[in-house]
Amino acid sequence: MKIIDLRSDTVTLPTQTMKDALYHAELGDDVFGEDPSTNRLQEIASELMGKEASLLVPSGTMGNLICTLTHCARGEEVILGNMSHMFLYEAGGMSALGGIQPHIIPNQLDGTMSLEDIEAAIRGDNIHFPRTRLICLENTHNRCNGSPLTPEYIDSVAALARRYGLLVHLDGARIFNAAVALRVNIKELTRGVDSLIFCLSKGLSAPVGSMVCGSREFIAEALRIRKVLGGGMRQSGVIAAAGIIALEQMVDRLAEDHANARRLAEGIARIPGLSIDLAGVKTNIIYFDLVSDQPTNDEFVIRLGQKGIKLLPTGSSRFRMVTHHGISTEDIDATLVALTEVMEET
Ligand code: TLP
């Protein structure tokens, strides 16, 4: 039976071109700064993002942590959304390892935080208060329907931050999905932020790796923090070689994933017992709700699993499906048939 794995775009496998590239990669010791493939990837990433420098790191989680630890001292505060990946799914790293306090404000359905809420969360100068240092954004916003944040919104947050002498970090794990969906140059999404990460290992299909980008001075400090966390990787060119292919060959095709997500969402909207907000579907991530009593949430997942369909339960009666390179339009149609059968069988 064919498995259609819609749990995440992290399940994507490297393409044959990536495997060939990593097999033949020119290698050296990256902790000495001597891995040619890693150096090349870092140059390409800096150029693409319009930043002075960048750093290959093992994961998005480590990238976000490196950025917070680089920007903030112990006891300082970070403003971020209550639905952000950095708050929900990064094991409290900034508090556990940095003594940094998250200050959570509401995410709107489109992944933004209102400028009023951000401004109200900025601490005044008072010895009782922690110092606010950083504002974090997420683009696309995973838990908020994979929504892309627009250049105008990011610029407005950056302007607010500058007024208060604060820094802005962008968790751009899926920033290429945002650029493709909005049809903007990626630099428009990054020009206002002091640091960002993006992932090679999600929709771009590389096996491992994320990039941290920022000023030369910031990356020099981030390099020390990566070492502290044990993220220096020696012959990391085997990862970087696949990452270069990801950036050169896998960006434009993300539009196919977005079209498949829309097809899937429109199909789900027609299935009795399932409910989806079609207006929210803009990239490769969709969320929908099981609104009938039967099947139960557990039965729903099990029965889909028996038909080869994997999806991610995300609390109460809500489920996530993510389209990616390993999912074809035929897979979408097969998924819709399976969903219809599961709902009709009950
Ligand atoms: N997200 C994963 C899970 O952790 C939920 C997924 O399947 O979506 N930022 C964002 C916005 C992310 O969605 C993720 C991964 C990360 C950071 C962390 O990246 P990794 O998995 O490389 O540490």
pLDDT band at 316 (very low <50, low <70, confident <90, very high): confident
Give which of 104, 106, 105, 86 is closest to 94, Cα–Cα.
86
Is there a single domain that holds both residue 161 and residue 297? no
User: Is 6 part of a structural domain of the chain?
Assistant: no
Share of the chain above pLDDT 70, in %: 100
Mean pLDDT of the chain: 97
Is there a single domain that holds both residue 91 and residue 240? yes
Longest dimension (CA), the chain: 63
Q: Which residue has the tokens 């990256």?
A: 30
User: Is 7 part of a structural domain of the chain?
Assistant: no
Is there a single domain that holds both residue 196 and residue 329? no
For residue 335 and ligand 1, the question of a CB distance below 6 A is answered with no
User: Is 161 part of a structural domain of the chain?
Assistant: yes
pLDDT score of 257 more than 90:
yes
pLDDT band at 159 (very low <50, low <70, confident <90, very high): very high
Is there a single domain that holds both residue 295 and residue 324? yes
User: Is 99 part of a structural domain of the chain?
Assistant: yes
For residue 60 and ligand 1, the question of a CB distance below 6 A is answered with yes
The answer to whether the pTM exceeds 0.85 is: yes
pLDDT band at 220 (very low <50, low <70, confident <90, very high): very high
For residue 173 and ligand 1, the question of a CB distance below 6 A is answered with yes
Distance CA 79, CA 20 (A): 43
pLDDT score of 291 more than 90:
yes
CATH of the domain at 50: 3.40.640.10
Model pLDDT, residue 227? 97
Is there a single domain that holds both residue 195 and residue 277? no
Q: State mean pLDDT over 280-292.
A: 97
What is the whole-number distance in angstroms between the Cα of residue 140 and the centre of ligand 1? 11
What is the whole-number distance in angstroms between the Cα of residue 60 and the centre of ligand 1? 6
Q: Torsions phi, psi of 166, nearest 5?
A: -105, 165
CATH of the domain at 304: 3.90.1150.10
Q: Which atom of ligand 1 is nearest to the CA of 63?
A: 23
Residue 334 structural domain: 253-344
CB 218 within 8 A of CB 184: no
Q: Which residue has the tokens 């990391």?
A: 236
pLDDT score of 115 more than 90:
yes
For residue 5 and ligand 1, the question of a CB distance below 6 A is answered with no
Q: State mean pLDDT over 252-264.
A: 98
Is there a single domain that holds both residue 159 and residue 292? no
pLDDT score of 14 more than 90:
yes
Is there a single domain that holds both residue 213 and residue 262? no
Read off the amino acid at residue 208: V
User: Is 3 part of a structural domain of the chain?
Assistant: no
Q: State mean pLDDT over 284-307.
A: 96
For residue 200 and ligand 1, the question of a CB distance below 6 A is answered with no
Model pLDDT, residue 235? 98
Is there a single domain that holds both residue 320 and residue 227? no
Q: State mean pLDDT over 89-118.
A: 98
Show which of 179, 214, 249 is a domain's final residue: 249
Share of the chain above pLDDT 90, in %: 98
pLDDT score of 346 more than 80:
no
Model pLDDT, residue 73? 98
Show which of 249, 264, 288 is a domain's final residue: 249
Is there a single domain that holds both residue 84 and residue 206? yes
Model pLDDT, residue 275? 98
Model pLDDT, residue 345? 86
Nearest-CA residue for atom 16 of ligand 1 = 60
Is there a single domain that holds both residue 56 and residue 172? yes
Question: What are the CA-CA distances from residue 13 to residues 74, 199, 220 (Å)?
Answer: 39, 14, 32
Model pLDDT, residue 140? 98
For residue 59 and ligand 1, the question of a CB distance below 6 A is answered with yes
For residue 138 and ligand 1, the question of a CB distance below 6 A is answered with yes
* pLDDT, tens digit (0-9, with 9 covering 90-100), for 38-67: 999 999 999 999 999 999 999 999 999 999
Show which of 214, 232, 249 is a domain's final residue: 249
Q: Which residue has the tokens 């870092």?
A: 42
Q: Give the count of domains, the chain.
A: 2
Question: What are the CA-CA distances from residue 69 to residues 94, 229, 279, 289 (Å)?
Answer: 7, 10, 37, 37
* pLDDT, tens digit (0-9, with 9 covering 90-100), for 186-209: 999 999 999 999 999 999 999 999
User: Is 8 part of a structural domain of the chain?
Assistant: no
For residue 284 and ligand 1, the question of a CB distance below 6 A is answered with no
- Position with higher pLDDT, 247 vs 316: 247
Q: State mean pLDDT over 275-296.
A: 96
Q: What is the CA radius of gyration of the chain?
A: 21
User: Is 189 part of a structural domain of the chain?
Assistant: yes
What is the whole-number distance in angstroms between the Cα of residue 314 and the centre of ligand 1? 14
Is there a single domain that holds both residue 140 and residue 272? no
Distance CA 317, CA 233 (A): 41
For residue 91 and ligand 1, the question of a CB distance below 6 A is answered with no
Model pLDDT, residue 315? 87
pLDDT score of 148 more than 80:
yes
Is there a single domain that holds both residue 221 and residue 259? no
Distance CA 111, CA 113 (A): 7
pLDDT band at 171 (very low <50, low <70, confident <90, very high): very high
Nearest-CA residue for atom 13 of ligand 1 = 142
